[in-house]
Amino acid sequence: MMQVPLSVGSLLEHAEKFFPKKEVISQTHDVLHRLNYGEIGQRTRRLMSIMNELGIRKGDRIGTLAWNHHRHLEIYFAAPGMGSVLHTINIRLSPEDIIYIINHAKDKILFIDEDILPLIEHIHTHLKTVEAFVVMTDKAELPDSTIQPLYSYEELLSTGDPTYEFANDIDENQPAGMCYTSATTGKPKGVVYSHRAIVLHSFALGLADTAGLSESDVSMPVVPQFHVNAWGTPFACTWFGSTQVMPGPRFTPKRLAEFIERFKVTITAGVPTIWLGLLRELEQGNYDTSSLRAVLCGGSAAPLGLIKAFEEKHNIPFYHAYGATETTPLVTISRLKSYQQDLTLEEKFQERSRQGILVPGLQMKVVGDSGEVEWNGKEMGELLLKGPWIADEYYKDARSDDAFKDGWFHTGDVVTVDEEGTIKIVDRTKDLIKSGGEWISSVEIENAIMAHNAVFEASVVAIADEKWQERPVACVVLHEGQENAVKKDDIIEFLKPQFPKWWLPDDVLFFEEIPKSSVGKFLKRELREQVKARYSPQG
Ligand code: ADP
């Protein structure tokens, strides 16, 4: 067969040719834009020609600090399209982490949303490699700024060449993009995506038994474009000619609900906290969400109660998926097999609250203390992965040696696998609670607590214990108006029938909010500190 390199630029070229009328609907700060793939293609070509004039060459890193919108989408294709590297930067990280990331990646140019400019003003003197800053504004004039040289995205584009060609000498193994992990577990680590990985991952998103993305979809990625490329959906949706709805800067649950109704969104993707927020909004307002065929939920465990609320109260199909920055990210998705349709409704929900089975194209292995575990749904081990869209190192980082060994990526996630091959994430290795030589899954207890009607969210962490080494403590946020309705004993009584006695939390602490990471995950590091402070208040 022919050896044809897989390239990211070719995905947009396909959309330009076959879906020039299909639209990208994009909310920016001030304007709702509607552009078709013909226009997006021409603008992307203009952008490549401009970057070429600004001195961007093959392999250079192009940093973005931006929300989900069409300009960000254009850079998604322009950077790899000319052989340089798209580097999406998580705008919610601390300024120190952002400085570290930009210097470590050696970004040559930064594309910045207007509301993020103040952050860059604050740090730009620490940026060692950046030669040009481009602000993505709708306004005719550049905002006042001390940053130099500062360009306006639209002004640059207006002088660009709409016929500029995508690079035709792409090696499919060369870098197309990079993204740093969200630092839930320490300093951010860089992951480099090849053209080949992104294209093969896009195929995987189109499979009927995964996300089944297709031309007829209206896709609204809520997961940020700076978080594992919005889970790769902008690449796949462009290729397939799906309509895309980009919710823009600082969106609210209200905007999401309105966009779903107004643009008849069929599929959307995000982390559980987003869906908890949307659920609240759907309960307050009266929205038509009947267009939705799938809500994809990943990034941290989707509580059973959340899945049930979407499906039973709102008739919205809800799919639990699992992945990581190192995996481009799709690894598993939870869908029932044909012969599992006979299960009872409750059994189906239980099954679908697990993370699901491996998508075709990847390999997995689950390794416990004494080798590979049995697929019995009980034995726990660390999940190891291999495949064409799994990273094989961190970018220039000594921590690679711990995570990438013997040709496998060691995820740091502890799982069980049942007879069907369905995995269930029990915990992260470092969050497991080791009590009296046995392991307690913090995730299982928190999910059980979140099924309580009065509970908005819950997180469980270990506290040091002289006798048992570690013991679980539950941190609970109650729904508004329920603050006095539930006490520690109510939560413990609620859990009793579901767990062995030694799994029950020693204490239940009530919080107004659980600290979260930049991408909405429980920040257990920080929570452990807060719990410690409650037990030993200063003075
Ligand atoms: P970070 O490692 O900084 O949190 P990532 O966004 O790459 O950044 O997170 C990947 C991790 O998120 C996985 O290793 C896993 O622990 C967790 N995760 C992702 N999806 C799920 C899920 N569906 N259920 C439970 N945990 C998940």
Q: Which of 184, 326, 330, 353 to mutate to test the pocket of ligand 1 (most atoms within 8 A of CB)?
A: 184
How many Å apart are CA 268 and CA 277, to the nearest integer? 14
Instruction: Write the burial class of residue 494 (CB in 10 Å: 0-12 exposed, 13-18 middle, 19+ buried).
Output: middle
Q: What's the average model confidence in pLDDT over 234-259?
A: 97
Atom number, ligand 1, closest to the C-alpha of residue 521: 4
Atom number, ligand 1, closest to the C-alpha of residue 332: 23
Q: Whose CA is nearest to atom 19 of ligand 1?
A: 299
Q: What's the average model confidence in pLDDT over 229-244?
A: 98
pLDDT bracket for residue 300 (50, 70, 90) = confident
pLDDT bracket for residue 30 (50, 70, 90) = confident
Q: Which residues, in sequence order, are CB contacts of 531 under 8 Å at separation 6+?
A: 461, 463, 473, 475, 509
Atom number, ligand 1, closest to the C-alpha of residue 428: 16
How many Å apart are CA 367 and CA 373, to the nearest integer? 6
Q: Which of 178, 307, 410, 521 to mutate to test the pocket of ligand 1 (most atoms within 8 A of CB)?
A: 521
Peptide bond into 149 cis (omega under 30): yes
Span from the CA of 491 to the centroid of ligand 1 (angstroms): 27
Is the distance from CB of 178 to CB of 192 less than 8 angstroms?
yes
Please give the radius of gyration of the chain, using alpha carbons only, rounded to the nearest integer. Answer: 23
pLDDT bracket for residue 491 (50, 70, 90) = very high
Is the distance from CB of 308 to CB of 281 less than 8 angstroms?
no
Return the axis-axis angle of helices 70-81 and 9-18, rounded to nearest 10°. 120
Q: What's the average model confidence in pLDDT over 6-10?
A: 98
Q: Whose CA is nearest to atom 27 of ligand 1?
A: 300
Q: Is the pLDDT of residue 368 over 50?
A: yes
How many Å apart are CA 66 and CA 74, to the nearest integer? 12
Is the distance from CB of 429 to CB of 414 less than 8 angstroms?
yes
Span from the CA of 184 to the centroid of ligand 1 (angstroms): 9
User: What is the pLDDT at residue 528?
Assistant: 92
Is the distance from CB of 88 to CB of 235 less than 8 angstroms?
no
Q: Whose CA is nearest to atom 11 of ligand 1?
A: 324
Average of per-residue pLDDT values in the chain: 95
Nearest to 142 by CA among 117, 108, 109, 119: 117
Residues of the chain with CATH 3.30.300.30: 435-535
How many Å apart are CA 331 and CA 316, to the nearest integer? 23
Span from the CA of 423 to the centroid of ligand 1 (angstroms): 14
pLDDT in tens, 199-225: 999 999 999 999 999 999 999 999 999
**Parallel, antiparallel, or unpaired: how do β-strands 132-136 and 32-36 relate?**
unpaired
Sign of CA dihedral 198, 201, 205, 208: positive
Span from the CA of 214 to the centroid of ligand 1 (angstroms): 26
pLDDT bracket for residue 430 (50, 70, 90) = confident
pLDDT in tens, 394-409: 999 999 999 999 999 9
Is the distance from CB of 292 to CB of 319 less than 8 angstroms?
no
Q: Whose CA is nearest to atom 9 of ligand 1?
A: 324
pLDDT in tens, 130-141: 999 999 999 888
Q: What is the DSSP letter of 356?
A: B
Element (H, E) at 410: strand 408-417
How many Å apart are CA 512 and CA 28, to the nearest integer? 32
Span from the CA of 324 to the centroid of ligand 1 (angstroms): 5
Atom number, ligand 1, closest to the C-alpha of residue 321: 23
Atom number, ligand 1, closest to the C-alpha of residue 411: 14
Residues of the chain with CATH 3.40.50.12780: 9-251
How many CB atoms are located within 10 Å of the residue 89 CB? Answer: 25
Span from the CA of 326 to the centroid of ligand 1 (angstroms): 10
Q: Which of 94, 300, 427, 443 to mutate to test the pocket of ligand 1 (most atoms within 8 A of CB)?
A: 300
| SS3 at position 307 | helix
Task: Tell me the catalytic residues.
Answer: 181, 326, 434, 439
How many Å apart are CA 462 and CA 279, to the nearest integer? 30
The CATH label, of 3.40.50.12780, 3.40.50.1000, 1.10.150.20, 3.40.190.10, for the domain at 9-251 is 3.40.50.12780
How many Å apart are CA 331 and CA 312, to the nearest integer? 27
Is the distance from CB of 143 to CB of 125 less than 8 angstroms?
no
Is the distance from CB of 135 to CB of 142 less than 8 angstroms?
yes
Q: Is the pLDDT of residue 539 over 50?
A: no
Query: By percentage, how much of the chain surpasses pLDDT 90?
Result: 86
pLDDT in tens, 315-337: 999 999 999 999 999 999 999 99
Q: What's the average model confidence in pLDDT over 488-515?
A: 94
Q: Is the pLDDT of residue 230 over 70?
A: yes
Atom number, ligand 1, closest to the C-alpha of residue 325: 7
- C-alpha to C-alpha distances, 179 to 77, 239, 518, nearest whole angstrom: 15, 21, 14
**Parallel, antiparallel, or unpaired: how do β-strands 107-113 and 218-221 relate?**
unpaired
How many CB atoms are located within 10 Å of the residue 470 CB? Answer: 17
* 435-535: CATH topology: GMP Synthetase; Chain A, domain 3 (3.30.300)
Is the distance from CB of 314 to CB of 282 less than 8 angstroms?
yes
Residue 190 bridge partners (DSSP): 180
Q: Is the pLDDT of residue 184 over 70?
A: no
Q: Which residues line ligand 1 (CB under 6 A)?
A: 181-185, 298-301, 320-325, 355, 411, 413, 425, 428, 519, 521
| SS3 at position 428 | strand
Span from the CA of 54 to the centroid of ligand 1 (angstroms): 37
Nearest to 137 by CA among 155, 122, 110: 155
User: What is the pLDDT at residue 183?
Assistant: 61
Structure tokens at 20: 């020039």
User: What is the pLDDT at residue 185?
Assistant: 62
pLDDT in tens, 432-455: 898 887 889 999 899 999 999 999
